[in-house]
């Protein structure tokens, strides 16, 4: 079977540009604004930009688009860098749009000198009104015809701080009747007397996105400037500035951003979830942020694989969260250490097992023999999962029930003799007898056939831990598209905390970067909230559960 992978449209463009000699090498950039945390949607953009460069032997710059001092903070710069590194990518240069403020100012002066920009004294409302609507052209105002000399002076005064915020702006002089609203004399510089996280108080005028992005690309000699679909209408402006300024011609290309089921992706909505305490911060494991996924136990490889699988195209999409989970399970299944943990315990007493006796049983750590084995203490009294016992077994029930037999994983086959209920009818204890000859790994262990195998922990030897079970944050597939407030669709049971789960003793040595499969229950990892005496585990993702489906039928 040949592995002939077809190219996505960006790869086709790049290959054509390289083949034609338009560019000798490839240089892309990832340009986040440092005003929030990166989410899974950004990981697609990261994968596209870094992935393309990697594939074609080029480089990728990390450029912080920090042209708006009032929303941006150094804290975000650090988290963004950490997330990109964690995903496994390395940038060629760490740059900032603010590095180019002097150049950008010079470009603005050049535009004024060419009669292509003017200072406008209108209020923002007046400017908005003057732009018209998509169906009606805008109107040219009286400031549009100021002399070059006057504009130069005024712009210089703006820079010098002679005006207050909002008193004046610099606008490009393009076409107030353009069908593209963005070409109707866009504002390119505004006054903001604000402290900038890098340039401090040096500037009180700041360039707008459209006057910073393309030029920054050009200054860095970015060959392919890749962004999302909503910037398509900006492209004519992007090209206009490059042409009028006569600078290196970077080109903009657009792809469809990632949308995923059962979550929201807009920064505004994520901020709301954090601020209104629907989650416990940006790195809450229920958040679609990179830091949230990291804390939940996702691996960088699974996210990269997911980004590869979803492809790159120009059409709107809503990708099934199940695909991300598939990528995760695919990796974790190969690498996670198998351990036994009882989340919802009920006591199991082996009547014919000697009181006080303990055996060290051997169990495999994973599917691959190279992962080795460990020992597990076994004794008369065990904890098993409450849901693994049914007083009146359902049809096709393979687990424990009165008179039924199951195997205790890596141990013995047992047969249930009886069980005890309290006055409320709650089962408090199950009694069984074991078959010594059925011991795992020993001759004759397979003489008795059973359909079910369940996990267990020795009561005497078990340690305890808190376990946090996460479910999807929203009940709706596409909460942002629902009528009304997206928050009305929050899943009230997205977090279930188990205060006291019984864990096998080996788990006391768990470390933060290890991944575990709690056999039959899912994949888990240690949470940073853990202390030596209080371990906390997060459920990364469940296992597929064919029985749960059977029950639903």
Partner RNA sequence: UGGGUUAUGGUGUAACGGUAGCACUACAGAUUUUGAUUCUGUCUGUCUAGGUUCGAAUCCUGGUAACCCAACCA
When the beta carbons of 277 and 553 are compared against RNA, the nearer one is 553
Torsion region of 100: left, alpha or beta (phi above 0 gives left; psi -120 to 50 gives alpha): alpha
- Give the Cα separation of 399 and 407 in Å (integer): 9
Distance between CA 539 and CA 542 in Å, rounded? 7
How many residues are listed for the chain in this entry?
553
Of these residues, 267, 347, 409, 415, which one is catalytic? Answer: 267
CB of 299 to RNA, least distance (A): 16
Q: What is the CA radius of gyration of the chain?
A: 31
Minimum Å gap between C-beta 88 and RNA is 21
Q: Least separation, in Å, of the C-beta of 528 and RNA?
A: 26
Residue 392's SS3 state is coil
Catalytic residue among 11, 33, 59, 82, which? 33
Q: Is residue 427 within 8 Å of 386, Cβ to Cβ?
A: yes
The closest of 126, 159, 165 to 143, measured between CA atoms, is 126
257 annotated active-site: yes
Selecting among 173, 192, 198, 257, the annotated active-site residue is 257
3-state secondary structure 109-132: HHHHHCCCEEEECCCHHHHHHHCC
β-bridge mates for residue 364, sequence order: 373
Secondary structure class of 332 (helix, strand, coil) = helix
d(CA 88, CA 224) in angstroms, rounded, equals 21
- CA dist., res. 442 & res. 438, Å (int): 7
Question: Shortest distance, CB of residue 431 to RNA, whole angstroms?
Answer: 21
Specify the residue, 116 or 119, whose C-beta has the smaller distance to RNA: 119
Angle formed at CA 258 by CA 253 and CA 264, multiple of 5 degrees: 135
Q: Among candidates 340, 454, 339, which has minimal Cα distance to 388?
A: 454
Q: Which two tokens stand for residue 25?
A: 């090498």
Nearest residue (CB) to RNA, 2 versus 533: 2
- Which lies closer to RNA via its Cβ, residue 316 or residue 423? 316
Biggest alpha carbon–alpha carbon distance for the chain? 102
At closest approach, how far in Å is the CB of 504 from RNA? 14
Q: Are 117 and 172 in contact (CB under 8 A)?
A: yes
Let me know: does 504 contact 457? Beta carbons within 8 Å. yes
| Smallest separation, CB 552 to RNA (Å) | 8
Residue 460 annotated to the active site: no
Active site residue 267: yes
Catalytic machinery residues? 33, 257, 267
């Amino acid at each position: 079977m040949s592995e002939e992978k077809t190219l996505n449209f960006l790869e086709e463009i790049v290959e054509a540009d390289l083949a034609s000699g338009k560019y000798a090498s490839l240089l892309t950039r990832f340009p986040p604004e440092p005003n929030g945390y990166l989410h899974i949607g950004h990981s697609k953009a990261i994968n596209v930009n870094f992935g393309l460069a990697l594939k074609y032997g080029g480089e990728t710059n990390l450029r912080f688009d920090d042209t708006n001092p009032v929303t941006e903070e150094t804290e975000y710069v650090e988290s963004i860098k950490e997330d990109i590194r964690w995903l496994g990518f390395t940038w060629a240069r760490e740059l900032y749009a603010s590095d180019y403020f002097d150049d950008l100012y010079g470009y603005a002066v050049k535009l004024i000198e060419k009669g292509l920009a003017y200072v406008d004294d209108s209020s923002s409302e007046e400017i908005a009104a003057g732009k018209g609507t998509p169906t009606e052209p805008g109107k040219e105002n009286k400031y549009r015809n100021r002399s070059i000399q006057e504009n130069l002076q005024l712009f210089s005064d703006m820079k010098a701080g002679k005006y207050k915020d909002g008193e004046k702006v610099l606008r490009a002089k393009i076409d107030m009747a353009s069908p593209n609203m963005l070409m109707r004399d866009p504002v390119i510089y505004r006054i903001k007397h604000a402290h900038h996280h890098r340039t401090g108080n040096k500037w009180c005028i700041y360039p707008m996105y459209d006057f910073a992005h393309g030029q920054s690309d050009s200054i860095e000699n970015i060959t392919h400037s890749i962004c999302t679909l909503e910037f398509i209408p900006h492209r004519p402006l992007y090209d206009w500035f490059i042409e009028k300024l006569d600078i290196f011609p970077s080109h903009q290309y657009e792809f469809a951003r990632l949308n995923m089921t059962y979550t929201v992706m807009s920064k505004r909505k994520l901020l709301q979830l954090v601020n209104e305490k629907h989650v416990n911060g940006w790195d809450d494991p229920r958040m679609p942020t990179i830091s949230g996924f990291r804390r939940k136990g996702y691996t960088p490889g699974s996210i990269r694989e997911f980004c590869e699988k979803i492809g790159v195209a120009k059409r709107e999409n809503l990708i099934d969260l199940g695909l991300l989970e598939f990528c995760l399970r695919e990796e974790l299944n190969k690498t996670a250490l198998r351990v036994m943990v009882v989340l919802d315990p009920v006591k199991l007493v082996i009547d014919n097992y000697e009181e006080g006796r303990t055996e060290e049983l051997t169990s495999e750590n994973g599917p691959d023999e190279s992962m080795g084995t460990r020992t597990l203490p076994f004794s008369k009294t065990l904890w098993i999962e409450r849901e693994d016992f049914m007083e009146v077994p359902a049809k096709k029930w393979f687990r424990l029930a009165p008179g039924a037999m199951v195997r205790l994983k890596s141990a013995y086959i047992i047969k249930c003799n009886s069980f005890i209920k309290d006055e409320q009818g709650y089962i408090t204890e199950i009694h069984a007898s074991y078959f010594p000859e059925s011991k795992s790994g020993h001759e004759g262990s397979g003489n008795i056939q059973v359909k079910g195998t369940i996990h267990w922990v020795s009561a005497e030897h078990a340690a305890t831990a808190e376990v946090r079970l996460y479910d999807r944050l929203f009940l709706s597939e596409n909460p942002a598209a629902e009528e009304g407030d997206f928050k009305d669709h929050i899943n009230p049971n997205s977090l279930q905390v188990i205060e006291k789960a019984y864990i096998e003793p080996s788990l006391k040595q768990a470390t933060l970067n290890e991944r575990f499969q709690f056999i039959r229950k899912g994949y888990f990892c240690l949470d940073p909230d853990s202390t030596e005496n209080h371990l906390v585990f997060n459920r990364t993702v469940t296992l597929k559960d064919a029985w749960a489906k059977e029950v639903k039928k």
